[in-house]
Amino acid sequence: MYQYTEQDKAFVQARVDEFADQVARYNEGMLDEDEFKQLRLRNGLYYQRHAYMLRVAIPYGVLSSKQLHQLAHIASTYDKDYGHFTTRQNIQYNWPDLQDVPKILQSLADVEMHAIQTSGNCIRNTTTDPLAGATADEIEDPRPWCELIRQWSTLHPEFNWLPRKFKIAVTGSRNDRAAVQVHDIGLRLIKNKDNETGFEVLVGGGLGRTPHIGSVIRDFLPSADLLTYLNAILRVYNQAGRRDNLYKARIKILVSAMGIDAFRTAVETEWASSKNEDDTFSEETINALKAQFPLAPKLNGATDQPPAEIFSHPLFNQWYKSNTREHLDTNRRIVFISLKSPFAPAGDITSEQMHTVADLAEEFSLSEIRSTHEQNLVLPHVPVSELFRLWKALNGKRLATANIGKLSDMIVCPGLDFCSLANAGTISIYDQINARFDNLDFQYELGDISIKISGCMNACGHHHVGDIGILGVEKSGEEWYQLTLGGHAGNKAALGKRLGKAIPKVAVADAIESILNTFIRERIENETFNATFERVGIAPFKETVYATAA
């Protein structure tokens, strides 16, 4: 993975010093509340319902064992002994003390990490496929490109005060696991007919209160032009994006107001003038980055047989089937670590568990860990022969919940318990669903299905793209929930359809049960929920839910 150069180190150190100085000036009254807020946001520091919250960047979801140990250390030293993985592959600490934040940033810098631009109206952490560099369906490893984007977007002088936040996602695979269609800019690595690598560029996707699927602005962008083209898009957005209304300020609103064709013309016109001067990069630069992401060494011997222990250990077998995936080296497997146990809120992990995962990654996965936008972790390169030992170790720390892609593998935003923007709780809904469907065999029968929960219209829980989306709304001071069905985030992204009027908190699990029963009734053979929904539409679900929950 990417190792900091001396320049990166000096840069991040300067950023730490800068923030320490800003905190000092704030304490002395030299920075007003509002300006300090803007400055701290650009270092990931929010003020939430109860306390400060610090969001740490995990660039494109890639972590080393050393870094994860440090994140654990930060959680135990400066926070309440746990961290929370977000849907943007980052980690949040919910209880840091302001005066400790410079020290936390220093601890991060010591392991080549930072919290730069994890909030604020600027270019956020770039996300990608958590299986990058480990799957056979990949056209090219997206991580060097993500690192290039990370560097380019870091403290970019022109684009640090955009109309609104700006998120970029990259996929290098034919199967999109980075949800590129619902990002401000989505990039798909592709090959053209001459076998040259480039990007299909999408723009104007996003969730939030007005969800949009991104439109293709360019079918094929030669990879050498990546940054100059991004510069042109950002420049048009920076100039023309709305600043009068917070809710209309994202690029998706601009793109839909102008129409994709007019927007494309504006970008191409801008690009024609600036493509040779702004943010160009050399081939050596990208080649040097590529060299930092070598393939996992090929293991020899063995065959592509599953581990023998699956025949003697049913629980291991369950986990193997549910939580591991094919690696491009058939002697390795990609292992998912579920952070969706019934014992803790989705995405939460204790310091002790972090240390465990870091140690296991060192032992079994070339010291590499990935975070996923589904709020789980991945050990990308585990030898098949070590899977059983790994499983036993994970199981001992409540890290072997065998539910990846299943009903209880829900995406859940922090909601009312932590977020000052929330209309309703999300963690209690997660608990309710977990309690109702605690039978894993039932979940396996259902097959792959996603429940995604957001505490308000900002949609941090991506409810629009869940098979079942749950959105918290407020009705005369009470928590109610609006359900959507049929959303999808993969190759053909689709937004969920509204099921009907909102339902009260106590009835959520009942409604989910009705939906699942309807699915089982309508399902043909082993159809996924998505396939059944596409075939039968929303009507049968509507009928059963409102017949019982009325």
Chain contacts with ligand SF4 (rule: CB under 6 A): 413-415, 419, 421-422, 454-456, 458-461
- Is position 278 an interface residue for other proteins (rule: CB under 8 A)? yes
Cβ–Cβ < 8 Å for 292, 1: yes
* 18 is a site residue for other proteins (CB under 8 A): yes
Contact residue for other proteins among 35, 81, 137, 438 (CB under 8 A): 35
Which of the ranges 18-26, 87-95, 208-216, 429-437 carries the binding residues for other proteins, by CB under 8 A? 18-26
Q: Which of residues 280-309 bind other proteins (CB under 8 A)?
A: 280
Is residue 93 within 8 Å of residue 53, measured between CB atoms?
A: yes
| Chosen residue from 111, 155, 260, 538 binding other proteins by CB under 8 A | 155
Judge whether 340 and 382 are in contact, CB under 8 Å: no
Q: Which of 274, 317, 330, 341 binds other proteins (CB under 8 A)?
A: 274
3-state secondary structure of 473: strand
Residue 421 contacts which entry, other proteins, ligand SF4, none (Cβ below 5-8 A, type-dependent): ligand SF4
Name which of 210 and 458 has its Cβ closer to ligand SF4.
458
The CA-atom distances, in angstroms, between 134 and each of 146, 385, 387 are 16, 17, 16
Query: Which among other proteins, ligand SF4, none contacts residue 455 (Cβ within 5 to 8 A by kind)?
Result: ligand SF4
The smaller minimum CB distance to other proteins, of residues 38 and 305, is found at 38
Cβ 89 to ligand SF4, closest distance in Å? Answer: 15
- Shortest Å distance, C-beta 234 to other proteins: 9
**Contact yes or no for 462/445 (Cβ under 8 A):** no
Cβ proximity to other proteins, 119 vs 121, nearer residue: 121
Q: Which of 160, 331, 428, 491 binds other proteins (CB under 8 A)?
A: 160
Pick between residue 131 and residue 424 the one whose CB is nearest to ligand SF4.
Answer: 424
Beta bridge partners of 47: 52
Q: Using the rule CB under 8 A, is 426 a contact of other proteins?
A: no
Tokens of 445: 């029968």
From the list 11, 26, 82, 481, which residue makes contact with other proteins (rule: CB under 8 A)? 11
* By CB under 8 A, residue 125 contacts other proteins: no
What minimum distance in Å lies between the beta carbon of 480 and ligand SF4?
Answer: 14
Among 161, 247, 311, 442, contact with other proteins (rule: CB under 8 A): 161
Cβ 49 to other proteins, closest distance in Å? 24
Owner of token pair 């060192």: 362
Q: Which is nearer to other proteins, 274 or 458 (CB)?
A: 274
Report CA 74 to chain centroid distance, whole Å: 21
Radius of gyration of the chain (CA): 23
Of 24, 28, 80, nearest to 352 by C-alpha is 80
212, 252 Cβ separation under 8 angstroms:
yes
Whole-angstrom CA distances from 465 to 471, 478, 487, 509, 530 are 12, 25, 4, 19, 11
Region of 33 please: left (phi>0), alpha (psi -120 to 50) or beta. alpha
Region for residue 287 given its phi and psi (left: phi exceeds 0; alpha: psi -120 to 50; beta: otherwise):
alpha
Between residues 114 and 464, which has the closer beta carbon with respect to ligand SF4? Answer: 464
Whether the CB-CB separation of 382 and 389 falls below 8 Å is answered with no
Residue 153 or 482: the one with the smaller Cβ distance to other proteins is 153
Shortest Cβ distance from residue 149 to other proteins (Å)?
10
Residue 106 binds other proteins (CB under 8 A):
no
Of 180 and 460, CB closest to ligand SF4: 460
Position among 112, 141, 225, 279 found at the interface with other proteins (CB under 8 A): 279
- Please say which residue, 68 or 162, places its beta carbon nearer to other proteins: 162
106 or 160: whose CB is closer to other proteins? 160
Task: Give how far Cα 37 sits from Cα of 44, 46, 107, Å.
Answer: 10, 8, 22
Q: Please report how close the Cβ of residue 114 comes to other proteins at its closest, in angstroms.
A: 13
CA-CA-CA-CA dihedral for 255, 259, 261, 265, to nearest 10: -60
Residues 222-251 that bind other proteins (CB under 8 A): 235, 238-239, 243
CA distances in angstroms from 361 to 63, 379, 383, 393, 404, listed in the order given? 10, 6, 11, 11, 19
Toward ligand SF4, which CB reaches closer, 15 or 40?
40
SS3 451: strand
Q: Nearest distance from residue 254's CB to ligand SF4, in Å?
A: 22
SS3 258: helix
- The contacts found for 436-440 with CB under 8 angstroms, 24 or more apart, are 436/509, 436/512, 436/513, 437/407, 437/408, 437/512, 437/513, 437/516, 438/342, 440/318, 440/402, 440/403, 440/406
**Which residue in 277, 283, 441, 525 binds other proteins (CB under 8 A)?**
277
Q: Applying CB under 8 A, which residues contact other proteins?
A: 7, 10-11, 14-15, 17-18, 21-22, 35, 38-39, 121, 151-152, 154-162, 235, 238-239, 243, 273-274, 277-280
